[in-house]
Structure 1
Amino acid sequence: MRLLMLGGTEFVGRAVTEEARARGWEVTVFHRGRHDPPPGVTALHGDRTVPDGLAALAPGAWDIVVDTWSGPPSAVRDAARLLAGRAGHYVYISSRSVYADPAPAGLDENGPLVDASPDADDGDYATIKRGGELAACAAFGDRALLARAGLIIGPYENIGRLPWWLNRIARGGPVLAPGPRDLPLQYIDVRDLAQWVLDAAGRGLGGAYNLVGARGHTTMGELLETCVRVTGSDAELRWTDPETVLAAGIEPWSELPIWLPPGELYDMMHSGAVSKVLAAGLRCRPVADTVADTWSWLSALGGVAPHRPDRPSVGMDAEREAEVLRRV
């Protein structure tokens, strides 16, 4: 198989590229040249945000294109139009954020979507991702696969959510652990995402799929306790009820990554319907494997994970955490 990876040097794109190479596929990576691509690929350089930025893609043909773009939809439109006659399948890594608010628990792929345009040159995260979907479908029709990912964690994470928890717990001592301890979580390991999109595209699947594991694949308790075990830390998890955490002015998701208190945002992020993707072959590895492999990768980097410049930093300041712990 011949894969064209638009991106391919960081997090999701890198995981897809490495999975394709492990299968013996021929992989072409199109990127801006800011990071080294994985070994064994053909690298093409270009910037999708400038005129003639796709010139390097003028020749060539591929079986599958995977696009992780999170910028203006017009860039997806231009790439998809250029490649429609020379590629068999177009996978767009989208997001469950494309569903209109509020997205209730159990929402499947037929839920209402935000209004968006494939020609837009800006917008918020939800509208640019939905616009990217529309652009991919306009060029490829039923040969477009829309992978609506939820929370993605695992090696190469450049947002910092699981890396922050691992580093915080490795530091030891009392740790503010937001409850309830048995709160179900819904996420996908980036490598399981990579395996599924390549399998699905290879089988010719099209349309939208909520690409995330089952609700409750792990819990907040199991996740943090696994971090303690994997890091070998003496950390003491101080489980604190959501009301107390919120009353302290702590921001869910940003200051305490991954965690959301029960409510509308929790239902949207951790309670999506996934029967369609599970029936289409998604298999998710145990959370212990995800945590252990992420810690091994992070440790090899000296504990300093890469960070996307277009995303805010996550995590809680140590002094602020200590202050809150003294009051709970």
Structure 2
Amino acid sequence: MRILLLGGTEFVGRAVADEALGRGWEVTAFHRGRHAAPPGVATLLGDRTAEGGLAALDRGEWDVVVDTWSGAPSAVRDAGRLLAGRATSYAYVSSRSVYAYPPPAGLTEDGPLVDASPDDGGEVEYAQAKRGGELAALEAFGERALLLRAGLILGPGENIGRLPWWLGRIARGGDVLAPGPRELGLQYIDARDLAAWTLDAAVKGLGGPYNLVSPPGHTTMGELLETCVRVTGSDAELRWTDPETILAAGIEPWMELPVWLPPGEVHDGMHGGDVSKALAAGLRCRPVGETVADTWTWLRTLGGTAPQRPDRPTLGLDPEKEAKVLRGENPNAGGA
């Protein structure tokens, strides 16, 4: 199989490249040259946002194209049009953010979607960018377009700062603010499982949208953080704190405490998606212990500091703010 990655040098794209190489596929990555492609990957350089930036793709044929783009949909449109006659299928890594907000628990791929256009070329909100990218892929490839509506993505190579932040914080030890309840269910996908399913789906010739995330309750907040303690060998003491206390302290879920959302409508929409279609099509999700342990091993090869995407905000809770909450103080008191 011949695969073209639009990207392929970081996180999800890198996971797809590694999976394809492991299968003995012929892998080509089209990217801007900011990061090295994995050994064994042929490189085509170009900037899809620049005038003439797709010139390196003017020739060549592939069995599958995998596109991880999350910017203006017009970039997906232009690449799709250029490749439509020279590639068998086009897998676009989209997001469950394309559903109208807030999505109800149990939402299938037939749920209502945000309004978007494949022709948007400027600054676009994330949900509209991903939906516009889907429309662009469908415009160019029709039934040959595979739309991967991923949820929360974790695993080695993560450059967003969610699981790496928790591992780093817990590795430092001491009392750790652990957002409860412990049994709060989480739904996510390891980037490597996403990659494996994507290539399997391409071989099968699948198309259309798939919610690509683990079954609801694949792990819990408690299991995730306790696994972080175990794999780091830390002396950290998880101080489980109820959501009301955390919210009253002005701590922002998801951003200051990555992964965590308090129980309620937003949590249920994020961590309760229906994935029966992907499971029926062969999706398999590794246990959380493997994801956490492998991410920690990867982080240690980097000296404990994960890469950070420049287009995403830095996540995590300020140590002083955490300490005040653990002492029972309100960080917002006195105008702080």
- TM-score, with length taken from structure 1: 0.99
Letter in 1 for 2:178: A
CA distance, structure 2, for counterparts of residue 54 and residue 264 of structure 1: 42
Please name the residue that 2:237 is paired with: 236
Letter in 1 for 2:61: A
CA distance, structure 1, for counterparts of residue 74 and residue 136 of structure 2: 8
CA distance, structure 2, for counterparts of residue 102 and residue 183 of structure 1: 19
What is the deviation of 1:101? Answer: 1.3
CA distance, structure 1, for counterparts of residue 298 and residue 34 of structure 2: 20
1:1-328 matches, cutoff 5 A:
1-121=1-121, 122-327=123-328
Deviations 1:154-206 (A, max 9, x none): 00000010000000000000000000000000000000000000100110000
Deviations 1:191-232 (A, max 9, x none): 000000010011000000000000100000000000000000
What is the deviation of 1:102? Answer: 2.0
Letter in 2 for 1:276: K
CA distance, structure 1, for counterparts of residue 102 and residue 32 of structure 2: 36
What is the deviation of 1:243? Answer: 0.7
Q: For residue 126 of structure 1, give the secondary structure of its aligned residue in structure 2.
A: helix
What is the deviation of 1:265? Answer: 1.6
CA distance, structure 1, for counterparts of residue 206 and residue 12 of structure 2: 20
Deviations 1:7-38 (A, max 9, x none): 00000000000100000000000000000100
CA distance, structure 1, for counterparts of residue 325 and residue 203 of structure 2: 50
- TM-score, with length taken from structure 2: 0.97
CA distance, structure 1, for counterparts of residue 138 and residue 6 of structure 2: 17
Deviations 1:84-117 (A, max 9, x none): 0000000000000000012100001000000000
Q: For residue 44 of structure 1, give the secondary structure of its aligned residue in structure 2.
A: strand
Query: How much identity, in percent, do the aligned residues show?
Result: 76
What is the deviation of 1:6? Answer: 0.3
Question: What root-mean-square deviation, in Å, do the aligned CA atoms of Structure 1 and Structure 2 show?
Answer: 0.6
Deviations 1:120-177 (A, max 9, x none): 0131000010000000000000000000000000000000100000000000000000
CA distance, structure 1, for counterparts of residue 124 and residue 269 of structure 2: 20
CA distance, structure 2, for counterparts of residue 186 and residue 102 of structure 1: 16
CA distance, structure 1, for counterparts of residue 229 and residue 41 of structure 2: 37
CA distance, structure 1, for counterparts of residue 53 and residue 9 of structure 2: 18
Letter in 2 for 1:51: E
Give the unaligned 5+ runs of structure 2: 330-336
Count of residue correspondences: 328
Which portions of structure 1, spanning 4 or more consecutive aligned residues, are displaced by more than 3 angstroms? none
Deviations 1:235-257 (A, max 9, x none): 00000111111011100000000
What is the deviation of 1:324? Answer: 1.0
CA distance, structure 2, for counterparts of residue 214 and residue 238 of structure 1: 27
CA distance, structure 1, for counterparts of residue 319 and residue 186 of structure 2: 25
CA distance, structure 1, for counterparts of residue 68 and residue 298 of structure 2: 22
Deviations 1:38-60 (A, max 9, x none): 00011000001011100000010
CA distance, structure 1, for counterparts of residue 243 and residue 280 of structure 2: 34
CA distance, structure 2, for counterparts of residue 104 and residue 313 of structure 1: 28
Give the unaligned 5+ runs of structure 1: none
